[in-house]
Amino acid sequence: MIGLEHGALVAPQERRGARHLRRRTWQKRQSWTRIITVQKILSHPTSHNIEWHDVVSLLQQVGSVTEEHDGAYKVTIGSETETFRAPRSDDIDDQQVVDLRRMLKGAGLTGEEG
């Protein structure tokens, strides 16, 4: 069956191909964001523009994240568990960077993963 997509007639296999391409593009963008976030956390001196939502996304990919009833986030990577509070601004603070750096290094992450 031929369908309509963005005003053009498209065969089903073409729609599936477009969905696959969008999914692969999204996956590559997520992988790139993850690598950049790890590199920012591991860089010296500490980067001051590491956004909380990028950190949470990274942590969900490499470990487990549970938002507690009090707004804290319980993070487990490997055998280590730490509790973080979402920062008041968009960016994490220096102590959070230090704690995340320790956890990520302990899990063997280098920022070069794909």
Q: 51: which 2 tokens?
A: 């956004």
pTM for the whole thing? 0.67
111 belongs to a structural domain: no
What are 65-111's pLDDT values in tens digits?
999 988 899 999 988 999 999 988 889 998 999 999 999 888 887 76
Instruction: Centre a 10 Å sphere on the Cβ of residue 68 and count the other Cβ atoms it contains.
Output: 10
112 belongs to a structural domain: no
86 belongs to a structural domain: yes
CA 89 to chain centre: 18
CB contact at 8 A, 40 and 47:
yes
- Residue 36: its pLDDT value, please? 82
24 belongs to a structural domain: yes
The structural domain count of the chain equals 1
What domain range includes position 102?
3-106
58 belongs to a structural domain: yes
Q: Is residue 12 very low, low, confident or very high in pLDDT (cuts 50, 70, 90)?
A: low
Q: Does pLDDT of 26 surpass 50?
A: no
